[in-house]
Amino acid sequence: MKDTKLFVVMPCYNEEEVLGETSKRMRELFMTMEADGLISPDSKIVMVDDGSRDKTWSIISGLCDSDSIYRGVKLAHNAGHQKALLAGLMTVKDECDCAVSIDADLQDDINVIPEMVKKFDEGCDVVYGVRSKRETDTFFKRFTAEGFYKFFRVMGAEVVYNHADYRLMSSRALNALGEYKEANLFLRGIVPTIGYKSDCVYYERAERFAGESKYPLKKMLSFAFDGITSFSVKPIKIVWTVGLLVCVAAIIAAIYTIISKCLGYSTDGWASLMCSIWFLGGVQLVSVGVIGEYIGKIYKETKARPRYIIEEYRKK
**Shortest distance (Å) from residue 251 CB to ligand UDP:** 50
**Shortest distance (Å) from residue 238 CB to Mg ion:** 33
Tell me which of Mg ion, ligand UDP, none is bound by residue 15, counting a contact when its beta carbon lies within the kind-specific cut-off of 5 to 8 angstroms: ligand UDP
One of 107, 162, 198, 257 touching Mg ion (CB under 5 A): 107
Interface characters, 196-215, with ligand UDP (x: CB under 6 A): -----------------xxx
- Does the footprint of Mg ion cover residue 34 (CB under 5 A)? no
- Does the footprint of Mg ion cover residue 49 (CB under 5 A)? no
Tell me which of ligand UDP, Mg ion, none is bound by residue 157, counting a contact when its beta carbon lies within the kind-specific cut-off of 5 to 8 angstroms: none
For ligand UDP, the binding residues in 209-268 under the rule CB under 6 A are 213-215
**Shortest distance (Å) from residue 103 CB to Mg ion:** 5
- Does the footprint of ligand UDP cover residue 12 (CB under 6 A)? yes
Map the chain to HEC letters: CCCCCEEEEEEECCCHHHHHHHHHHHHHHHHHHHHCCCCCCCCEEEEEECCCCCCHHHHHHHHHHHCCCEEEEECCCCCCHHHHHHHHHHHHCCCCCEEEECCCCCCCCHHHHHHHHHHHHCCCCEEEEEEEECCCCCHHHHHHHHHHHHHHHHCCCCCCCCEEEEEEEEHHHHHHHCCCCCCCCCHHHHHHHHCCCEEEEEEECCCCCCCCCCCCHHHHHHHHHHHHHCCCCHHHHHHHHHHHHHHHHHHHHHHHHHHHHHCCCCCCCHHHHHHHHHHHHHHHHHHHHHHHHHHHHHHHHHHCCCCCCCCCCCCC
Q: What is the contact surface with ligand UDP in residues (CB under 6 A)? A: 11-13, 15, 50, 78, 80-81, 84, 103-105, 107, 213-215
Q: What is the contact surface with Mg ion in residues (CB under 5 A)? A: 103, 105, 107
